[in-house]
Structure 1
């Protein structure tokens, strides 16, 4: 059996929201969110990903958030910030910054919008793996990037020392199975509601959005699946499923999770344009979901 690269990042990673107040990052509130996750026993924090509104933060804010989270965590929990871009040079600059700041790994989204070829994907991730020392997590999300990183490309990339993880958000169990069977990479689910099926075929955890609200429940699911206790894991899957489906299905991430955190008194709910808040009907639907879950 090959030893698995990236095993240190197995378990629950939470894709943190970025709390805002009057258009600025609210670092006091951010500090509270971090302490909440550490107290829950979360294994790793992923700031400035999709959930953290990285596309709309300025480059300066993006870097400041990374440095803040690393400093605040002070080695108590792993930090894997989103540092990807559709420009290889920009992704490399951000990754080098995260490395200097003391991050533990780098979450690299597939280059979006410009739709590279598979060769382009390979060369992009190869540069990031070879020119920095951080373990790299390839984040495959064709729904947002407009292009799939094919399993054959990831299998080739797995030969590079610093390519350690895959955040799999293609929605394809076949694709995840192919990667798990052919490589020694640690695969993490990129969709909350697919965590259990993916772990059943060998994924090692999840980068979670609902973990912002209920990290304990997601930890229970992951622990049960890890122990091979699928009756218990299914129980947590079906408890979490309506929250995942009804909350995240309402609108584009992070709109619903920010609204939910606002309802729970943990966030202002503020976002940066072009992200806009839920309307009244959607807010009423979300409130119902949170009440049904027992959060409100």
Structure 2
């Protein structure tokens, strides 16, 4: 989930509660990741993270899983965030690969294990070498799969074969972390999506999963193809948080601004985004672009 910001840069906590409610009750998301990188976690303070997590738990924690992003490029800091997430009542943690540091695989093994040990919560690893600079190699994932609290992987590496090897050799659950590969991940054993486009087409993604698991491959493929313009618009033309916040603003939902060093979507981007959302079946209210773009 994005972190809604007010025009003055502060966190819009009321907006976050409304957005979380919309994502669960109307978009059929079974869970929400709070304080993940789509939530611009590198720019929010620990105090903001804690209040935001508690706000979302209060809003939807009785009917959806709430996972706290606790990953940083500092193991000690990540451990502290994991403990805070447990105290706040989170259902689990999401731990991204440390970014910029480029630790060796042995460093990743120690980092993920130590953060998972910091709280009595199930942990999901986030493998995204395009952002972190380092992949979690198959051999490392096989070792991490032996940790009793590491239960899942959010994959944005796109290695379906490597993921298949890990699923065959461990009990780790794999979630697609790249919306372009949602359907392919289901075909090799993935169990769901940790999605950015789920902000606006979560109900469609839920239907895709239901259709696939029911054996209706044709229906799942139809949904996949219909959503291609939405995925392209949000995931391929600029940074994801920028795009999805622009989409939420178009829909009259609490997206708000982004924090520097990100920049808000241009009017031109918002206009094209409106077209692609409409093609993908998203009902965009009839308002003028200047009213929704920042």
Normalised by the length of structure 2, the TM-score is 0.92
Which residue in 1 is equivalent to 2:153? 166
Aligned to 1:52: 39
Task: State the 4+ residue runs in structure 1 displaced beyond 4 angstroms.
Answer: none
**Does residue 89 of the first structure (1) align with residue 71 of the second (2)?**
no
SS in 2 for 1:81: strand
> Which residue number corresponds to residue 19 of structure 1?
4
Please list, as runs of the form range in 1=range in 2, the aligned pairs for 1:114-193 lying within 5 A after superposition.
114-193=101-180
Which secondary structure does the structure 1 equivalent of 2:264 belong to?
A: coil
Structure 1, unmatched stretches of 5+, are 1-15
1:36 corresponds in structure 2 to 22
Q: CA deviation at 1:268?
A: 5.0
State the distance in 2 between where 1:178 and 1:252 align.
31
Q: Which of 280-289 and 18-27 deviates more?
A: 280-289
Q: Which residue of 2 aligns with 1:253?
A: 240
Q: Is the 8 A contact 1:247 1:289 kept in 2?
A: no
Deviation at 1:46, TM superposition (A): 0.5
Structure 2 CA distance, aligned partners of 1:116 and 1:268? 34
8 Å contact from structure 2 (residues 32, 67) kept in 1 = yes
**Which residues in structure 2 correspond to 1:70-85 (within 5 Å)?**
70-85=57-72
Answer whether contact 1:188 1:204 (CA < 8 A) is retained. yes
Q: Residue 274 of structure 2: which of 274, 279, 287 is its match?
A: 287
Q: Distance in 1 between matches of 2:39 and 2:210?
A: 26
SS in 1 for 2:70: coil
SS at match of 2:227: helix
Structure 2: runs of 5 or more not aligned: 285-294
Structure 1 residue 90, shift from structure 2 partner: 0.4
Q: Give the 3-state SS of the residue equivalent to 1:85 in structure 2.
A: coil
Residue number in structure 2 paired with 1:11: none
Helix, strand or coil at the partner of 2:154: strand
CA contact (8 A) 2:3 2:11 kept: yes
Q: TM-score, normalised by structure 1?
A: 0.91
Aligned position for 2:289? none
1:112, CA displacement in angstroms? 0.8
Cα deviation per residue 1:112-157 (whole Å; 9 max; x = unaligned)?
Answer: 1101100000011111222321101000000000110101101001
SS of 1:143's equivalent in the other structure is: helix
Higher relative contact order (CA 8 A, sep 6+): 1
**Superposition CA RMSD, Å:** 1.3
